[in-house]
C-alpha cells in the first residue's frame, strides 16, 4: 500500500472520532485566552494516542511532538486555533453550544478537531516518514495581541525550529471536499483605531457658544479617507473603515465629546506604519484648527499574512495529488486578518482554506454568525489532507 493510500485509509478510520472531537468542542466553547478545559481535552486526547511529548505554552496553548525516523532531520509544524466567539448560537443541533453567549462561530472547533485527527494519523504512520512534526494548538486567535504572538514569545518556533508551518481555516464560500490556496500576499494586517474628539457642549440653538465635537468628528472622518485614496499606492490593498460613532447628544444638545472606533487594514508593513502616523497627525490638526482636541489611539493588531511562494505551490500540488485537481481552487486576496500571520513573519508558511459549504443541506452561513455550521465531511478532508501535506513537506529537499 502506498503512503498516500495509507493516509487516506487512516483518515477514513479516524473520521468518526474526529466528528466526536468536533461535537465535544462545539458544545463546550471557551473564549479567547480562557480555553482551560479545551486545552485539557486536547492534552488528554494527544496522550491517549501515545504521543508522549505534550507540553503547555502561553497558559492554555498545547504543543506536542511526533517523531518519525531520523527525527532530527527536519521539522514541520501544524497549527490549529482553539478559541470561540461571544455569539449566542441559534442552530438547533445535538452538539449546540451549552454555554450561553459563547459559540464556535469561526470554525476553530473544526481546526482543532482536524489537527487531532491528523495527529492520530501521523502517530500511526510515523514509521513511514523521516523527521518530526510539531503540533501547535494555540489560544486566542480572535483577540489582540493574538495567541500566536504569545506562543512565539514563549518559544514555540524553537527547540526544534520548524522548517515550515502549515495552517488551515474553514471557508463557507467553498464547497465541502474542496480546498483553496493563494501564494504570496493573502490576508491583511488589522489595527484598531479609537478616536475621542473633545469640544464644548451646550444648547444646539447657540452653536456659537459651543465647540461642536460632532462637526469636528465629521471633518476628521472624511479627511482620514484621503489617507487611503490620495496617499496609498493604488496598487496596494488598503481599507479604512469606521463602524462606531457615539456622541450622546440630542436634537437640541451638542455633546462635550464624540467617540469613534474603526479598523485599518493593508498588506505592506512600511505603509502600515506610515499611514498610522499620517492619520494621527491629520486628526489632531483638524481638531485643533476647529477649536477642539483629539485623542487618537491605535491598538496594534496582526501583521499581514504572506504565504511563501514555493512552499504554497508545492502544497497546492500535493493537495491536487491527494484530493484531485477538481477539488483544489485558487483564492484571491482577502482583507480579513488572522494571527497566523505572526508565524509567517518568522518562518516560511502556507495558510490554506478548507471548504465546508453544502447548499443542498442549507449549510451556507458565514463565519462570525449565529447560524454558522459545516458539512462534517470537511473533517475527513481536513484531517487527512493536513497529515498528507506534512509528510510531503518532510519529503521535500
> Which residues belong to the active site?
83, 141
Closest CA to 144 of 41, 246, 33: 33
Closest CA to 74 of 158, 157, 122, 131: 131
Beta bridge partners of 307: 184
First to last CA, the chain: 24
Report the Cα 281 to chain-centroid distance in Å.
31
Within the chain, how many helices (H) and strands (E) appear?
9, 16
Q: Which three cell numbers stand for residue 274?
A: 506610515
Distance CA 14, CA 8 (A): 10
CB 279 within 8 A of CB 227: yes
Which residues, 6 or more positions from 385, have their beta carbon under 8 angstroms from its beta carbon? Answer: 168, 179, 319, 322, 323, 354
Q: Which three cell numbers stand for residue 295?
A: 485623542
Distance CA 28, CA 42 (A): 13
CB 84 within 8 A of CB 104: yes
Per residue, the 3-state secondary structure of 34-73, as one string, reads CCHHHHHHHHHHHHHCCCCEEEEECCCEEEEEEECECCCC
Q: What are phi and psi of 230, to 5 degrees?
A: -125, 0
Q: Indicate the Cα dihedral angle 57, 341, 168, 365, nearest 10°.
A: 110
Q: What are phi and psi of 183, to 5 degrees?
A: -65, 155
Q: Which three cell numbers stand for residue 342?
A: 505572526
Q: Which three cell numbers stand for residue 130?
A: 523521516
Closest CA to 145 of 343, 339, 344: 339
CB 354 within 8 A of CB 159: no
Strands 53-57 and 61-67: antiparallel
Amino acid at each position: 500500500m502506498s503512503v498516500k493510500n495509507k493516509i487516506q485509509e487512516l483518515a477514513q478510520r479516524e473520521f468518526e472520532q474526529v466528528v466526536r472531537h468536533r461535537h465535544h468542542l462545539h458544545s463546550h466553547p471557551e473564549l479567547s485566552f480562557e480555553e482551560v478545559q479545551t486545552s485539557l481535552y486536547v492534552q488528554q486526547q494527544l496522550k491517549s494516542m501515545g504521543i508522549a511529548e505534550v507540553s503547555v505554552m502561553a497558559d492554555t496553548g498545547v504543543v506536542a511532538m511526533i517523531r518519525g525516523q531520523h527525527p532530527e532531520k527536519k521539522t514541520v509544524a501544524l497549527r490549529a486555533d482553539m478559541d470561540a466567539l461571544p455569539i449566542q448560537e441559534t442552530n438547533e443541533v445535538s452538539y449546540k453550544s451549552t454555554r450561553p453567549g459563547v459559540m464556535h462561530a469561526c470554525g476553530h472547533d473544526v481546526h482543532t478537531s482536524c489537527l487531532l485527527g491528523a495527529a492520530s494519523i501521523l502517530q500511526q504512520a510515523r514509521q513511514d516518514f523521516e523527521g518530526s512534526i510539531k503540533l501547535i494548538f494555540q489560544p486566542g486567535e480572535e483577540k489582540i495581541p493574538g495567541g500566536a504572538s504569545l506562543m512565539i514569545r514563549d518559544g514555540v518556533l524553537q527547540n526544534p525550529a520548524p522548517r515550515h508551518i502549515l495552517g488551515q481555516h474553514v471557508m463557507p464560500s467553498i464547497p465541502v471536499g474542496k480546498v483553496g490556496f493563494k501564494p504570496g500576499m493573502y490576508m491583511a494586517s488589522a489595527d484598531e483605531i479609537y478616536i475621542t474628539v473633545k469640544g464644548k457642549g451646550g444648547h444646539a440653538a447657540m452653536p456659537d457658544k459651543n465647540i461642536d465635537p460632532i462637526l469636528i468628528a465629521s471633518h476628521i472622518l472624511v479627511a482620514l479617507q484621503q489617507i487611503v485614496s490620495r496617499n496609498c499606492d493604488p496598487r496596494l490593498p488598503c481599507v479604512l473603515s469606521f463602524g462606531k460613532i457615539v456622541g450622546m447628544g440630542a436634537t437640541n444638545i451638542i455633546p462635550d465629546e464624540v467617540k469613534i472606533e474603526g479598523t485599518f487594514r493593508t498588506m505592506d508593513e512600511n505603509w502600515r506604519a506610515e499611514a498610522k502616523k499620517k492619520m494621527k497627525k491629520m486628526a489632531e490638526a483638524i481638531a485643533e484648527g476647529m477649536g477642539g482636541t483629539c485623542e487618537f489611539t491605535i491598538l496594534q493588531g496582526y501583521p499581514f499574512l504572506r504565504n511563501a511562494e514555493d512552499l504554497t505551490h508545492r502544497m497546492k500540488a500535493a493537495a491536487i495529488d491527494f484530493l484531485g485537481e477538481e477539488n483544489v481552487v485558487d483564492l484571491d486576496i482577502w482583507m480579513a486578518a488572522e494571527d497566523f500571520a505572526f508565524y509567517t513573519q518568522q518562518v516560511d508558511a502556507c495558510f490554506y482554506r478548507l471548504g465546508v459549504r453544502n447548499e443542498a443541506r442549507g449549510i451556507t452561513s458565514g463565519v462570525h454568525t449565529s447560524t454558522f455550521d459545516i458539512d462534517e465531511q470537511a473533517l475527513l478532508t481536513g484531517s487527512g489532507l493536513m497529515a498528507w501535506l506534512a509528510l510531503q513537506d518532510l519529503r521535500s529537499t
